[in-house]
Amino acid sequence: MISAGDFRKGITFEMDGDVYQIIDFQHVKPGKGAAFVRAKIKSVMTGTTKDLTFNPNDRYPRARIETKEMQYLYNDGELYYFMDNETYEQLPLEKQQVEEAIVYIKENDNAIIRFYEGKPFEVVAPNFVELTVSHTEPGVKGDTATGATKPATLETGAVVNVPLFVNVGDKIKIDTRTGEYLSRV
């Protein structure tokens, strides 16, 4: 069991017959009245989000989430196929299950798949990936003193703001949690 006062980002719990993950939370202690926890939660199964307030003493059963590293194989237009590295079984996933992470994953790269009671619900890209810039406007010479950035499209289709000195064909390192450019490789 977990109490609402112990809520943190990423924690999963069961409530009203569904499994929720904490996206954001805030402990509020008003001048008058009792303290409470304001949380934004996302349903693991349906993907819907809610903003709710909890009494810090409310207790909920913790959900058991399994994780497995799997290899991304290909996309057939509708489904995204991942392969279990141990059993070589293929797992087809729908776009809504992979949409946040797939822009940072190339074919044959590994990703973490999260399961609840054997059912996959989320794909998590590695924290840092190296991708090649497929399109960006050329930087203007002499305009680098301000730390200006420009949008760049990567080989997977992700669009990231990069410094002006980054060109097409450059390999760059990206933090997938924030979508920010880190360095040129």
Q: Give percent above pLDDT 70 in the chain.
A: 96
Distance (Å, rounded) from C-alpha 5 to C-alpha 22?
A: 12
B/e letters for 96-116, b = 16+ CB within 10 Å, e = fewer, are ebbeebbbbbeeeeebebbbb
Positions in the chain whose pLDDT score sits under 70: 140-146
Q: State residue 110's pLDDT score.
A: 92
Q: State residue 145's pLDDT score.
A: 61
Residue 22 parent element (H or E): strand 18-28
Q: State residue 148's pLDDT score.
A: 80
Residue 141 parent element (H or E): none
Q: State residue 46's pLDDT score.
A: 77
Indicate the pTM of the whole model: 0.73
Q: State residue 141's pLDDT score.
A: 65
